[in-house]
Chain A
């Protein structure tokens, strides 16, 4: 470093500035407000209980990118590959990166980060004063298309999403920033799957009060989770994937985005 000339320093500062300018919005995470409403979720705890009320929240317009996550692990080394505790991540954690703090090709910086555990995703969101969305928050947003807040009944909507699921995973992920939905949220479908805060609560099933077999008494509380909309395969596949995961797991097609709560409405 002693040999670093003023000119080199200036060049570096300039490069950093132009990098920030190029990345633009992505450097300061962009959130949009999602208004309160109700959701007829594909999962419900009680078939008789109607749609789930959803409070307003703010959601990241794009999934967290590799570049954003790199800056996070640079600032918080305990989340770097090789340093992270085994409790919080499996061996596949960020394995696609060139090193603990280098993603790889410059264009990869704008791809959604994948191979992240739920713990790491939660920690990242806390750093943005947010959290992972709950399943119903994610599903609420995922029901939208470019013009409608709930496009799920449209066969064309379902076909388009199923089309993505039926194609094999891409070797190279596209950069974030696809078409915006009615809220201004992008890349909910078609790029990566996303962690949700309550990923480990989606298929809790069985009524603990029925039967006397001790093995049946695994769950406390009343009622089973029922699948309400068996036609919505695209969303059900998400639930199946998320339910199969442990919080330390990482997979090559699973990323995340964060939400921030807004002031609660008076009920």
Chain B
């Protein structure tokens, strides 16, 4: 188990603030507007959620650190044998519909709904086993309470089953440069053309 100790909320908030500061520091070279970005976020941005995600590389960053370019977001769990691999293939298929230059400006964020099992090591193994481009794709984990909140802002349902599996809605969600949900698709397998179109237009919008 990787359960975090229960901190009084003030401590948790302070810790989050420190992490925000760290994430907006020089380490992340993303073209985000300087500091105070949280206040200027659109009210309906998913980046309003102060969650901290740890990627397969072991590095932690806030969700809002992704601000500045569109992101494809979904939730998954590593031990899933059937739909989750399809989810990865679906996102790959979406990417094949983009030009190399467009692809370069798109990142993918897959957050585990199974933080008890999806350690950084497991995420890293999944990246290797699935031949995922770890430079643009982040497989991330966070604490269980943050998973529930992130699922809530994304409109994703999930439920742990007694056998260790999860039932969850499989949706790929496009968020714009400011974290607003721009489109979602539940189509698995071949890329949804309407969704691809939205991805392209958000990539154009983000560069203006």
Contact = CB atoms under 8 A, between A and B. Distances in A.
Interface residues of B, number: 45
Contacts of B168: 204, 219-221
B190 to A, nearest CB: 8
Contacts of B76: 220
Contacts of A46: 161-163
Interface string A185-222: 00000000000011011111100110000110111111
B29 to A, nearest CB: 27
Interface in B121-169: 145, 148-149, 151-153, 155-159, 161-163, 165-169
Contacts, number: 115
B50 to A, nearest CB: 10
A129 B7 CA distance: 8
Contacts of A37: none
A197 B80 CA distance: 23
Interface stretch (A15-23, A56-64, A81-89): A81-89
Contact of B82 (A45, A49, A118, A208): A208
B40 to A, nearest CB: 12
B163 A200 contact: no
Given A129-B6, A219-B167, A85 B186 contact: no
B43 interface: yes
A232 interface: no
A223 B161 CA distance: 8
B189 A214 contact: yes
Contacts of B171: 218
Interface in A223-262: 223-225, 246-247
A195 to B, nearest CB: 11
A85 B43 contact: yes
Interface string A117-141: 0110010001101010000000000
Nearest to A199: B152
B86 interface: yes
Contacts of B86: 217
A49 B161 CA distance: 10
A87 B170 contact: no
Interface of B: 6, 8-9, 12, 41-46, 48-49, 76-77, 80, 82-84, 86-87, 145, 148-149, 151-153, 155-159, 161-163, 165-171, 186-189
Given A85-B41, A85-B44, A223-B163, 10 more contacts: A87-B46, A126-B145, A129-B9, A205-B167, A218-B186, A219-B169, A220-B76, A220-B165, A222-B161, A247-B149
